């Protein structure tokens, strides 16, 4: 906010508020702590009551939780908080669908580094809530020799030798291959993991026979919810899929039923909750006051039973 929230600033000051977080679709909830943090930054006294935890399944119309904070903080943080929660929940939901579609106890689904800039840590966390696993987080996490590395080194053997010469023996070496000749080269150079990239199902079966348990096998390339079940009965170890993050949509969530504590009844310590009618009335008072119509404001206060002095 370069100059504050110019809409909310015209309507509210320090009133307290309460709002409901509601699911508008079925899915896996993910990112509640991130959602909370947005409002805590805006109001350190914000409180939350959640009926679900990260990783739980929610259904349409479920009350996910209630947020109590300064009304201004609620309105200012709403979109940012929901953006994180909806995105992360969408990824967890899509991931869960892929895990269910694969339906395998032996093959694990992995994410990739194809994540939204600045969002990787959140998106990879969401993947785990959906039941899949994380591949490397960044280039320092693991050795992966891809096609451009192979070209730069002058072949798979040279690439593996160069990588092995400067890295500790405890680091596994993964090589991306696209054909059977490269599979054999990777085996001869003693690669620990062989990634079969963009191979058809029948080609994968033949590559599996060539490898014959001598390396961990990962399959990748254009694997999504629509075709992942085709990999169920293959003798492989992992499936990595960029679709798990970049094809995932958002889970439809909304903040509704905002209640605002405007002020106090005359002669009472009880705080009155705001309604839409009171909300509109309050807006009119603020706007008229700014234009100097104090007489109108006083009449409005007297007729409503409120005191705004």
pLDDT in tens, 90-130: 999 999 999 999 999 999 999 999 999 999 999 999 999 99
Res 202: pLDDT: 97
Q: How confident is the model at residue 209 (pLDDT cuts 50, 70, 90)?
A: very high
CA distances for 23 relative to 49, 56, 254, angstroms:
15, 12, 6
**What is the DSSP pairing of strand 216-220 with strand 238-240?**
parallel
Q: What is the pLDDT of residues 146-193, one digit of tens each?
A: 999 999 999 999 999 999 999 999 999 999 999 999 999 999 999 999
pTM summary value? 0.83
When pLDDT is cut at 50, 70 and 90, the band that residue 278 belongs to is low
Residue 133 burial (10 A CB sphere; 0-12, 13-18, 19+): middle
- Asked whether the predicted pLDDT for residue 299 surpasses 90, the reply is no
Instruction: Give the list of residues 6+ apart from residue 286 with CB closer than 8 angstroms, or none.
Output: 10, 11
Q: Tens digits of per-residue pLDDT, 244-274?
A: 999 999 999 999 999 998 754 333 334 444 4
Residue 203's contacts (CB-CB under 8 Å, 6 or more residues apart) are: 180, 196
Q: What is the pLDDT of residue 261?
A: 83
Q: Which of 24, 68, 70, 114 is catalytic?
A: 114
Q: What's the rounded Cα separation, in Å, for the pair 139 and 141?
A: 6
Q: What is the pLDDT of residues 6-23, one digit of tens each?
A: 888 888 888 999 999 999
Is the Cβ–Cβ distance between 73 and 43 less than 8 Å? yes
State mean pLDDT over 295-301: 39
Residue 210 has pLDDT above 50, yes or no: yes
Nearest alpha-carbon partner for 170 in 192, 199, 200: 192
- 285 membership: H or E segment, kind and range: helix 276-290
Known catalytic residue at 114: yes
- Partners of 63 in the beta sheet? 22
Spatial CB neighbours of 148, under 8 Å, sequence gap ≥ 6: none
């Amino acid at each position: 906010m370069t100059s504050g929230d110019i809409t909310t600033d015209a309507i509210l000051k320090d009133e307290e508020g309460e709002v409901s977080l509601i699911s508008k679709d079925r899915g896996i909830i993910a990112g509640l702590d991130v959602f909370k943090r947005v409002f805590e930054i805006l109001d350190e006294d914000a409180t939350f009551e959640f009926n679900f935890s990260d990783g739980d399944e929610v259904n349409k119309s479920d009350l996910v939780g209630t947020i109590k904070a300064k009304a201004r903080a609620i309105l200012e943080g709403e979109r940012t908080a929901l953006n994180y929660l909806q995105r992360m929940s969408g990824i967890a939901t899509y991931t869960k669908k892929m895990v269910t579609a694969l339906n395998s106890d032996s093959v694990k689904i992995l994410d990739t580094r194809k994540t939204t800039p600045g969002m990787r840590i959140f998106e990879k966390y969401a993947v785990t809530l959906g039941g899949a696993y994380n591949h490397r987080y960044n280039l320092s996490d693991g050795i992966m020799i891809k096609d451009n590395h192979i070209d730069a080194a002058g072949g798979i053997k040279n690439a593996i030798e160069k990588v092995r010469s400067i890295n500790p023996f405890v680091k596994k070496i993964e090589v991306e291959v696209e054909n059977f000749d490269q599979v054999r080269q990777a085996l001869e150079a003693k690669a620990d993991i062989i990634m079969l990239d963009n191979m058809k199902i029948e080609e994968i079966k033949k590559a599996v026979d060539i490898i014959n348990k001598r390396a961990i096998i990962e399959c990748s390339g254009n694997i999504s919810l629509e075709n992942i079940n085709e990999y169920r009965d293959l003798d492989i170890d992992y499936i990595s899929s960029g679709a798990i993050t970049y094809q995932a949509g958002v889970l439809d969530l909304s903040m509704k039923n905002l209640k605002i504590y405007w002020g106090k009844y005359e002669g009472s310590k009880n705080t009155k909750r705001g309604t839409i009618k009171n909300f509109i009335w309050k807006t009119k008072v603020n706007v008229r006051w700014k234009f100097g119509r104090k007489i109108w404001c006083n009449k409005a206060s007297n007729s409503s039973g409120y005191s705004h002095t």
